Amino acid sequence: MDEPTENSEYYAILNCARDASTEEIVRAYRKLAQVFHPDKHLDEERRKQAQESFSKVQEAYEVLSAPEKRQVYDVYGKQGLAAGGLNERCIHTMLSFKSLAGVACTTSPHDSCASRPSLDSRMITHQGQKLP
């Protein structure tokens, strides 16, 4: 089986497609939570393994069941979540950097990266701090 990419890891943990509905994500979480819940395992070794798996399932569910977190995760992966989420201005700044680097970016049709002017890195800030 192929190694999951960073932006699909949570989907792989829950065994869901990237376009899964919220209801499908909830169903997958409930099914896996029943299997991996530590209280279901009496053997100490299996309980420990179940706890690790259960933690991963919970983490994936927390992200994919929240629309805002899911959107950030789908675009920026775990790094975007670790940054505390991104406000709209930061997202557009990052998309602009991607377009300057020649990376295709996807935004709504009325807000394409190609229509934005080039940005000077000295002018770009994230929450009041200059980006490196």
Helix (H, G, I), strand (E, B) or coil at 72: helix
Asked if residue 57 lies in contact with residue 33, where contact means CB atoms within 8 angstroms, the answer is: yes
Among 4, 15, 6, which residue's Cα sits nearest to residue 61? 15
- The span from the CA of 28 to the CA of 67, in Å, is 17
Same domain, 71 and 12: yes
Same domain, 37 and 94: no
Asked if residue 79 lies in contact with residue 90, where contact means CB atoms within 8 angstroms, the answer is: no
Domain of residue 132: give its range: 87-132
pTM: 0.60
Same domain, 71 and 91: no
Per residue in 23-33, pLDDT tens? 999 999 999 99
Does 48 reside within a domain?
A: yes
Per residue in 65-94, pLDDT tens? 999 999 999 998 888 888 876 555 565 555
Same domain, 21 and 68: yes
Residues in a beta bridge with 125: 130
**CB count, 10 Å around CB of 86?**
20
